[in-house]
Amino acid sequence: MGKTVFGVIPARYASVRFPGKPLAMIGDEPMVVRVYRRALSSGIFSGLVVATEDERIVSVCREHAVPAVMTRADHPSGTDRVHEAAELEAAGREADIIVNVQGDEPLIDPAALVRLVKPLETVPQNAVAASSVCARLVDQAEYHNPNVVKVVLDSSGRALYFSRAPVPFARDGGLPERVWRHIGLYAYTRPAIESFVRLPESFLERTERLEQLRLLENGVPFYMEEVTAAPPAVDTPEDLAHVIELIRQGKGGV
């Protein structure tokens, strides 16, 4: 029997740059509903829920027949919210792999979720391990943009480091031959996500403001899978307008 996979879509209403972002409309449905439907179409989940701190998001999800759970408002990271949501659901408590599906990725590729969990399907049942995905970075401006997270890989494809800085640094100038853009999808074995919530915030995590560094700094392997492209996330109203235009042009997938 294969390993069971439970997915959580963390969706905070109280976004600093874009309050109410999960409920922003894309066509005739809220963004969080679109994310749920695209993720569900991957076919990998034994259960999939939206996790939020706001009753308005729960209400809208229920109107669209999307499962949603209320979680604490004071979680320090999305992964902490994902862990609580998984513990609230029977399918989550029984799952072997827990997936964090970002709620601001309305163009998420369902095939990327299939690739995301692939490395963890073969690790031992009690392994403390995580996986994520990345895409080739070919734009000089993105290389230097601190909002674009880069990941450095070893020769086997595992993550050596995640950073907002331009890494690996090109001493001779230009764009290095191999630069990877990290895409914020995460899969954890159950022991890994339980380790995450027990560990204190790490120095590197606090410095870069990248929660995935907590596990990496504590020696937990991050298996990376390559995907063809990094879909734009929605952090601001301007990002939303860009996504809507891509969909209008037929570049937004299903």
Give pLDDT tens digits for 55-85. 999 999 999 999 999 999 888 888 999 999 9
pLDDT tens digit string along 165-194? Answer: 999 999 888 899 899 999 989 999 999 999
Q: Is 188 exposed, middle or buried (0-12, 13-18, 19+ CB in 10 A)?
A: buried
* pLDDT tier for residue 253 given thresholds of 50, 70 and 90: low
Question: What number does CATH give the domain 5-248?
Answer: 3.90.550.10
The whole-number pLDDT of residue 64 equals: 96
pTM of this prediction? 0.92
pLDDT tens digit string along 79-134? Answer: 999 999 999 999 999 999 999 999 889 999 999 999 999 999 999 988 999 999 99
Q: Where are the domains of the chain?
A: 5-248
Which one, of 33, 5, 46, lies nearest residue 193 by Cα? 5
Assess contact for 32 and 11: CB atoms under 8 A.
yes
pLDDT tens digit string along 216-229? Answer: 999 999 999 999 88
The whole-number pLDDT of residue 52 equals: 93
CB atoms near residue 131 (< 10 Å): 27
For residue 13, the Cα-to-chain-centroid distance in whole angstroms is 17
Whether the predicted pLDDT of 161 surpasses 70: yes
